[in-house]
Chain A
């Protein structure tokens, strides 16, 4: 079984709808991340969490919110989806460790907002 799973893998929705993307991990890592990938722009960090009580904004958090329900679960919500949020979304995890931040990625969720 995959260590980092994301659901759904694909989602098509309409402008204005609320969408939740879910991420679960069995790696036992404290740290979890949400990224967005657009062609030619690489990965942009949306939100990250270093433990259950810690939530931090990344470089592009506007229009998104997150919930860290447990060590193993980190959800990303789009409160009112808009077409320019059409992208590939990745969840990642890493261990707490000094100087290192080796991240392990889920398979991604392809979101299309019409």
Chain B
């Protein structure tokens, strides 16, 4: 079945850019998602990209998709302390979604 991998931790300084990476195994994945989980809360949909795109930008967020390498990334520009959270990558194809284990982003003031 599908396997989705993410690094578990990332630490950045406030104002820098953060890049969270994700790799997946199923090349037939059609939609790829990024979710954010703040402490004590559920998962909030941040953004998603369709598999026929290679980039999507939404304000401070940029999603890059490399289908050949099965690699997805989320770049957060001008990272703020409010961006501290766990970020989950998820891929669809054969539903339900398959989630990565999440990357905990810590922003240092």
Contacts and interface: CB of A to CB of B under 8 A. Distances in A.
Contacts of A107: 41-42
Contact of A101 (B31, B44, B100, B102): B31
Contacts, number: 54
B88 interface: yes
A102 B42 contact: no
A42 B97 contact: no
B92 A101 contact: yes
Interface of B: 8, 30-31, 33, 35, 41-45, 48, 88, 90, 92-93, 95-97, 99-102
B84 to A, nearest CB: 16
Nearest to B96: A48
Interface SS, B side: loop
A104 interface: yes
Interface of A: 4, 31, 33, 40-43, 45, 48, 58, 90, 92, 94, 99-108
Contacts of A41: 101
B101 A42 contact: yes
B42 A33 contact: no
A102 B88 contact: no
B96 A43 contact: no
Contacts of B31: 99-102
A92 B43 CA distance: 9
B48 A108 contact: no
Contacts of B30: 99-100
Contacts of A105: 35, 42-44
Given A43-B99, A101-B96, A102-B48, 13 more contacts: A31-B95, A33-B96, A41-B101, A42-B99, A42-B102, A92-B43, A100-B30, A100-B92, A102-B31, A103-B43, A103-B45, A103-B96, A103-B97
